[in-house]
Structure 1
Amino acid sequence: METARGAAPQGSAGAEALLGELQARVQDVVRASSWWERHGVDCAILALSLLSLPPGFLCLSSDHVLVFALGIAILGVCHYTLTVKGSHLATHGALTESKSWSKIWTHFFVEVCTAFPAEDARHGHVKMHHGYTNVLGLGDSSTWKVPRLNRYVYMFLAPLSIPILTPLVAVERLRKVNPRVALRTLGLISLGLYSHYWLLLNVSGFRSPGSALVCMLSTRSLLAHPYLHINIFQHIGLPMFSLDKKPRRIHMMSLGVLNLPRLPVLDWAFGHSIVSCHVEHHLFPKLSDHMCLKVKPVVSQFLREKQLPYNEDTYLARFWLFLSHYEELMVQAPPITELVGLQ
């Protein structure tokens, strides 16, 4: 049983005062930022990814191995930029301040690009994971645990199944929703998958359905390994809470969330809020990736000033931690952390 103590004000009132003080500092930064900083940078990255798709498909029509490999790389990175970064920002409403456009972008990035129901993504990620971060059975990232797999299969082979499992899970989820919503979602998912397949046949020049499908799998699994790894690295292995004894928000997020260092390709494809600014994102989920990066010095300084945890670790260190402690972290039930004086 872990025990956590801190010099920061304890109890409900103290925690609310701390969070209010941090929010005021962050809001000062946000108010002083331009539209380009708040939304424009990330919208430009997504637009560039969309504009890069035609060159990527054309590269796949080349007989030159290096050009063909370049096409795989372009389409793979663009796929993850649209599906991970785009879906994540859209789901949180961080792409635009318009609710109507936010809803449109959510359906586009989550359903057309990612092949997953938007409502399920919003419920599972925004309402559960963010609402109950590291609370066992609710927001503890347990959806990423597959105890039946051994460590090597999980860490090295399982990520390759994500592009196949995602639409299959989507179809299973659609059985439980309103038929009209299910039909719309199924239509958008089918549009995204068939468009990818059609472009490979008609623009890239693939001559057989099998080769086109293999190429689809290759591009859609290009960054699957870091995607799966990051989803477990940043929460599992940190303090876990029970629903009846979960700490106040600022303590929950500072204790149960971890930042990785900046990694150029992953910063571009996944976004700062998923990689190097995950603590900031959990504290302020409606901020865009660029704004999370901008407020990071403010958040890190504040938490350290108040003697609250600010968790950081390297990708490689977390990888070896999970590989060497796989049974403890991914198979056995994690112990509940006892937070003395912070409930």
Structure 2
Amino acid sequence: VPGEPMEPAEPAEPAEPARDGPRAEALLHELEALVRDVVRSSSWWERRGVDCTILALSLLALPAGFLCLRSDNVLVFAIGITILGVCHYTLTVKGSHLAAHGALTDSKRWSKIWLLFFVEVCTAFTAECAKHGHVTMHHAYTNVVGLGDSSTWRLPCLNRYVYMFLAPFLLPILTPLVAIEQLRQVELRTALRTLGLISLGLYSQYWLLLNVSGFKSPSSALVCMFLIRSLLAHPYLHVNIFQHIGLPVFSRDHKPRRIHMMSLGVLNLPRLPLLDWAFGHSIVSCHVEHHLFPRLSDNMCLKVKPVVSQFLHEKQLPYNEDSYLARFRLFLRRYEEFMVQAPPITELVGLQ
């Protein structure tokens, strides 16, 4: 199906030694055929329309959020913060994620435009670095030590309580600072474009708070920007570590075949309405499906989930699922092992 390739965006490299490589490849091709049938039978609305509508509604809700902040009523003001915070994360997390994978449109030109809008204007991050780090590295080398093992989320200098409860508040501040630091890795023209788009996004929100929401001082507007951009920072950080860290990790020379890598090293959380809306199914409850088929939209990941889970269970392959609360407790209990110590390499005896 045009725009919905089943094969991963993984750089070519020599096949790793595998005792049962052909069987693993056959399993993946069989699963791809099942998912392809579901995609072919789906309408444009199911493949892209649902998610595009959610993003459009988030943009349309922004004026209401800014106007609510004009109110002296505490409840109305809190509603404004909530609207703007949820919309911010919908555009920056869901929008950036879908745009990075080219899941919003078949057009390469529009994919680039949406990537720049969601990643640089809305998120205040570098589009090229975001796509390289997430798509080229994390997806191609999921849970491979030093390449796609989510090690960027580890901060061993912090204790478990500071990391889990306080560190998320740093995300709105660190995101543009890290983006600026990464500009050294790109061409001058790209760096200037990125600086311009990041500045446009940050200043637009600041200007709207002053001129639409009616904030009287720059400091109060900046504090409000921080509140908006940190509203869902805690679940965002938690979800990113819950889905991969603590699961089997591999070395580059002995990584498993793709179907084993994704079934072993990826975890689904249960459906959570707020996070489903703001982060997207592919980041929360359909992360296994997303890693197997990264070009599918959030709604399509949800639609193929029964097919993928049934197939993996029938073939006696892992299909990792756990609750948000259970993972939270697990990370608090085993924080030193997961987030501070070097993870042990998984032995793939009998697997492939």
TM-score range, shorter chain: over 0.9
Partner of 2:265: 256
Any idea what the Cα deviations from partners look like across 1:216-237, whole Å, max 9, x if unmatched? Answer: 0000000000000000000000
Paired AA for residue 299 in structure 1: V
1:26 to 35, 38, 54: 35
Give the superposition deviation at 1:340.
Answer: 1.2
1:270 and 1:178 map into 2 onto residues whose CA distance is 31
Name the residue aligned to 2:253: 244
Partner in structure 1 of residue 72 of structure 2:
63
Corresponding residue of 1:5: none
Q: For residues 192-247 of structure 1, give each alpha carbon's deviation from its aligned partner in whole angstroms, at most 9, with x where no partner exists.
A: 00000000000000000000000000000000000000000000000000000000
One-letter amino acid of the counterpart of residue 332, structure 2: L
Task: Give the counterpart letter for 2:225 in structure 1.
Answer: M
For 2:56, the equivalent position in structure 1 comes to 47
Alignment of 1:1-343 (within 5 A): 11-343=20-352
Q: Deviations over 1:312-334 (max 9, x none)?
A: 00000000000011000100001
Structure 1 runs (4+) deviating above 3 angstroms are: none
RMSD (Å) for aligned C-alpha atoms: 0.9
Q: Which amino acid aligns with 1:264?
A: P
1:270-323 CA distances to partner (integer Å, 9 max, x unpaired)?
000000000000000000000000000000000000000000000000000000
* Alpha-carbon offset, residue 98 of structure 1: 1.1
Q: What is the rounded CA distance, in whole Å, between the counterparts of 1:119 and 1:218 in structure 2? A: 27
Counterpart AA for 2:208 = L
- Find the residue that maps to 1:335 and give its secondary structure: coil
Query: Higher mean Cα deviation, 9-18 or 149-158?
Result: 9-18
The answer (yes or no) to whether the contact 1:248–1:342 under 8 Å persists in 2 is: no
Deviations 1:167-201 (A, max 9, x none): 00000001222111100011000000000000000
User: Structure 2 length normalisation: TM-score?
Assistant: 0.94
Structure 1, unmatched stretches of 5+, are 1-8
Instruction: Report the Cα distance in structure 2 between the residues aligned to 1:94 and 1:177, rounded to whole angstroms.
Output: 25
1:3 corresponds to: none
Task: Name the amino acid aligned to 1:246.
Answer: K
Q: Which whole-Å CA distance do the structure 2 matches of 1:316 and 1:286 have between them?
A: 29
Task: Among all aligned residue pairs of Structure 1 and Structure 2, give the percentage whose two residues are the same amino acid.
Answer: 82
Q: Deviations over 1:94-152 (max 9, x none)?
A: 01111111110000000000000100000000000000000001100000000000000
Deviation of the 1:10 alpha carbon: 6.2
Distance, in Å, in 1 between the alignment partners of 2:246 and 2:20 is: 25
Q: Number of residues paired by the alignment?
A: 335
Residue type of the alignment partner of 1:119: E
Task: Give the Cα–Cα distance (whole angstroms) in 2 for the partners of residues 177 and 31 of structure 1.
Answer: 39
